């Protein structure tokens, strides 16, 4: 292993360590979250590590991490193991499959793509699983580390560009950019650039037409799935049946 890579891995382990709890408490119990998740959903997570702190600052968002739900694609878990129902990109382990318990105690949000066919969801999952074992882009680690020393006076318009600092090598990955590539592979929009053009109709009137332009995957961050007009925000407490009359309030 090269000295630079060795330093990068040690830095990654340091940044991945959780800090004192500073995130919101989870708004959904694990059983409700598990019952609501579907294959193809994107789960956003508010992490508590040093690395998550930098991501949340640069994106001015609650969300620091994103993972794809793959449901029962991998089949039943071995005895004593939990089902691995997500593919994500870990700063230390790279692209991996994990159980829901990995995110235990963390605030999370389900973002659901709308209208996908089963074969499109399968292609999405296959894209992610085919990249299992790819390492995290360590250049991104060095770029983000400096933001943990002192909060930089960065204009809001530049924060997204500062996240697009990875090496861009096909053998490296970052969580939101890999997900962006996966959805791009099935032509499903997240936050594309939208061009509005005037088009003449048979009646001689002008109509507005929208043309979508793919935005480079390196410019995507976890919050984009939250604000995207093409993803439904699914709240487990509501999806599993909510009755405010059944709530128990302290006198």
What's the mean per-residue pLDDT of the chain?
77
Instruction: Give the torsion through C-alpha atoms of 92, 95, 101, 106, to 10 deg.
Output: 70
Burial class (CB in 10 A: 0-12, 13-18, 19+), 42: buried
- What are the distances in angstroms from CA 138 to CA 94, 99, 143, 177? 10, 24, 9, 14
pLDDT exceeds 70 at position 162: no
Mean pLDDT over residues 118-146, rounded?
Answer: 80
Instruction: Find the mean pLDDT for residues 150-162.
Output: 52
pTM of the model: 0.76
Query: What is the C-alpha to C-alpha distance for residues 65 and 174, in angstroms, rounded to an integer?
Result: 10
- Residue 177, pLDDT score: 84
142 or 30, which is more confident = 30
The predicted-structure confidence for 35-57, as pLDDT tens digits, reads as follows 999 999 999 998 776 667 667 77
* Beta strands at 135-136 and 172-173: parallel, antiparallel or unpaired: parallel
pLDDT over 80 at 15, yes or no: no
């Amino acid at each position: 292993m090269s000295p630079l890579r060795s330093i990068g891995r040690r830095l990654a382990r340091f940044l991945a360590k959780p800090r004192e709890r500073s995130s919101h408490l989870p708004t959904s119990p694990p059983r409700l979250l598990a019952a609501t998740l579907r294959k193809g959903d994107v789960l956003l997570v508010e992490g508590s590590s040093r690395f998550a702190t930098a991501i949340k600052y640069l994106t001015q968002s609650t969300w620091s991490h994103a993972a794809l739900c793959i449901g029962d694609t991998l089949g039943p878990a071995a005895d004593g193991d939990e089902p691995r129902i997500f593919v994500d990109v870990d700063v230390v382990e790279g692209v991996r499959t994990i159980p829901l318990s990995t995110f235990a105690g963390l605030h999370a949000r389900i973002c659901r793509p709308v209208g996908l066919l089963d074969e499109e969801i399968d292609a999405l999952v296959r894209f992610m699983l085919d990249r299992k074992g790819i390492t995290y882009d360590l250049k991104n680690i060095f770029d983000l580390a400096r933001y943990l020393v002192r909060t930089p006076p960065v204009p809001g318009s530049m924060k997204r560009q500062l996240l697009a600092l990875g090496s861009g090598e096909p053998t490296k990955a970052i969580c939101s950019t890999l997900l962006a590539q996966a959805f791009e592979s099935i032509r499903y929009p997240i936050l594309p650039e939208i061009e509005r053009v005037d088009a003449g109709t048979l009646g001689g009137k002008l109509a507005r037409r929208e043309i979508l332009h793919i935005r480079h995957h390196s410019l995507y961050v976890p919050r984009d799935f939250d604000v995207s007009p093409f993803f439904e925000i699914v709240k487990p407490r509501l999806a599993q049946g909510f009755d405010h009359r059944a709530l128990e309030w302290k006198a």
